Homo-oligomer: A and B are copies of this chain.
């Protein structure tokens, strides 16, 4: 039975908002009957949708606002002019203590910019990162940053390692998640100065982190480590490359099945194979990326997901609130900072 708290939802974010948001909350309500929802958005659109979900309705409050952030809006602009938008209001509710966390399927850049401005980062965190779970050969791994910071220094990567390790413990219940830095593996050319510096800090640190050193692109899906740490550019390219390759593989599979009558007959019996593989690689199952490093729980849902996917993003927020992720991160970062200050001031970076 889940604890009783409130989550703030940007009801107007996402391709099929507010419909998938309300339906997603309806599915989440079945799993987390004690969680309440604040729905920020246009009451005229939200109310009829809520009327169709009587079980959910008594657990919801609508906060009416008509302004919305679109996917084309520039983050730099909406943080100035967007204070009446459903996204801003949804984040503000966490800052004001009305909700324990926020979920949005809207504009990622705007969500990050507003969340940083309204909530500020956790003490010791210079840049928040986008973090999510991925399917691997041996289970699930955490990867970050997935696109918040196109360029990172060694200090950022070390902070990502700490935050990703805490996320992995909270989401997957691992006692001692292993951590790897994503690099290229070839002789003299092995990566950049930033990566070598980050590895040096992580190796030297007395933080209780199981640091495995450098890993390569094929280690992500192999599940070689529990936490894959990388800059937002590389992480975003790798994540989307995984999505694209999975689609390619299933398209090859469909083409091969269509090409032979015998194969089609066989696949009638082997139908479970395709549905099992589909289930294990279903992007909805992995929907819900955490904006980690903020003074509050902020979860980004894929904009194009459906109600089931959105309910999974709510599930990530519930897990993070219940497991008090930010307290764990704060403690670890305070520890690493104190150690660095005491032992090797020159290594900390500026």
Chain A residues within 8 Å of B, Cβ to Cβ: 74-76, 107-110, 113, 135-137, 147-151, 182, 184-189, 191-192, 216-222, 230, 232-234, 236-253, 255-257, 259-260, 262-274, 276-277, 280-281
Contacts and interface: CB of A to CB of B under 8 A. Distances in A.
Contacts of A270: 257, 260, 262-267, 270
Given A137-B251, A252-B276, A257-B273, A219 B245 contact: no
A254 B239 CA distance: 23
Contact of A247 (B135, B188, B221, B277): B221
B256 A273 contact: yes
Contacts of A253: 253, 273, 277
A221 B244 contact: yes
Contacts of A191: 150, 233
Contact of A233 (B192, B219, B245, B281): B192
B184 A150 contact: yes
A237 to B, nearest CB: 4
Given A233-B191, A245-B241, A267-B266, A186 B108 contact: yes
Contacts of A74: 187-188
Instruction: Please give me the 9 A-B residue pairs with the lowest Cβ-Cβ distance, nearest first.
Output: A217-B240, A266-B269, A266-B270, A109-B187, A218-B244, A221-B244, A256-B276, A221-B248, A217-B241
A237 B236 contact: no
A148 B220 contact: no
18 contacts: A75-B187, A108-B186, A113-B188, A136-B248, A184-B233, A184-B236, A184-B237, A192-B233, A217-B237, A218-B244, A218-B247, A221-B245, A234-B234, A252-B276, A255-B276, A256-B277, A266-B269, A267-B270
Nearest to A230: B237
